[in-house]
Amino acid sequence: CVRVLKPGGWFELSDCDAHLYTKGQLGTILNTYFAQQLKKRNFSAFVGNHLEFFLQNTGKVQKVQKKEQELTVPNLNVFGNGMGDIACKMFAQVGINSGIELGVLKESDAEKITVDFMREAHERRAYFKFFRVIAEKV
């Protein structure tokens, strides 16, 4: 996601890692399946680590500032449309679909796996890292 803050001046680039931190057993399994899907498509699960480096190497920006924030997995009972909620839904869905594609998970179990994963992740205070990089055009 790129957002221009001021024409010809500052802009913001932000992204969320596709890696769940402090996960439990089910989260670890889904994380593995998710990472395999990303790797097959030549994507990194740790995109946030590369944003600042990418911008600095373009030679088109200066004053690169990077901020990191944690998007915690929400309580299943108050699941909404925040960034943490969306990241978690995406992570669970891709991880489950990958497991189904690999033949290790059944499609009929997808809903139960999602609920169990969300409960486990919330109890363990699992989180995704969200990165925001702000830079000034040279």
Cα of first residue to Cα of last residue in the chain, in angstroms, is: 20
| pLDDT attached to residue 85 | 72
Average pLDDT, the chain: 79
Give tens-digit pLDDT for 7-27: 667 777 777 777 788 888 888
What 8-state DSSP symbol labels residue 20?
-
> Is the pTM of the predicted complex or chain greater than 0.75?
no
Nearest-CA neighbor of 113 among 9, 25, 3?
25
User: Over 60: is that where the pLDDT of 1 sits?
Assistant: no
Burial readout 8-47 (b: 16 or more C-beta within 10 A, e: otherwise)? eebbebbbbbbbbbebbebbebbbebbbebbeeeeeebeb
Domain boundaries, the chain: 2-137
Give tens-digit pLDDT for 67-113: 888 888 776 655 566 666 777 777 788 888 888 888 888 889 888 88
C-alpha 80/C-alpha 63 separation (Å) is: 35
Q: How confident is the model at residue 118 (pLDDT cuts 50, 70, 90)?
A: confident
